[in-house]
Structure 1
Amino acid sequence: MHEDDTEFKHLSELIEKRNELQNEINSILARMTMKQEERVSKLAESISASHKRK
């Protein structure tokens, strides 16, 4: 029974680490998405401005 408790504890720790990493990944992806959206927005503004000048 003791071995089961040890394995359960180890599994719980691994799951906790995985969740922390997943949160970090999600945070990085969200920042990257925001930066990408900013670039697209600037590009759209630039295209719009160049069309207005024509």
Structure 2
Amino acid sequence: MPTYRYRCAKCGKVFEHVEHVAEHEAAQLRCPKCGSEAVQHQPTQFFPRTSRKS
């Protein structure tokens, strides 16, 4: 399952959350520091892993 990075709009805390791709759109997260629901998804880089070399 992918790990998504979030940032709290209230206190600025950046945290990560592991969730299924289907759950990502409906996720209702709270900031672990202040408990605010005003969290925003922070885009991150994606590095796919393959078994063969290119």
**TM bucket, shorter chain:** under 0.3
Q: Answer with 1 or 2: which has the greater Rg.
A: 1
TM, length-normalised to structure 1 = 0.18
Higher helix share: 1
> Which structure would you say has the larger RCO, counting Cα contacts within 8 Å and 6 or more residues apart?
2
TM, length-normalised to structure 2 = 0.18
Higher strand share: 2
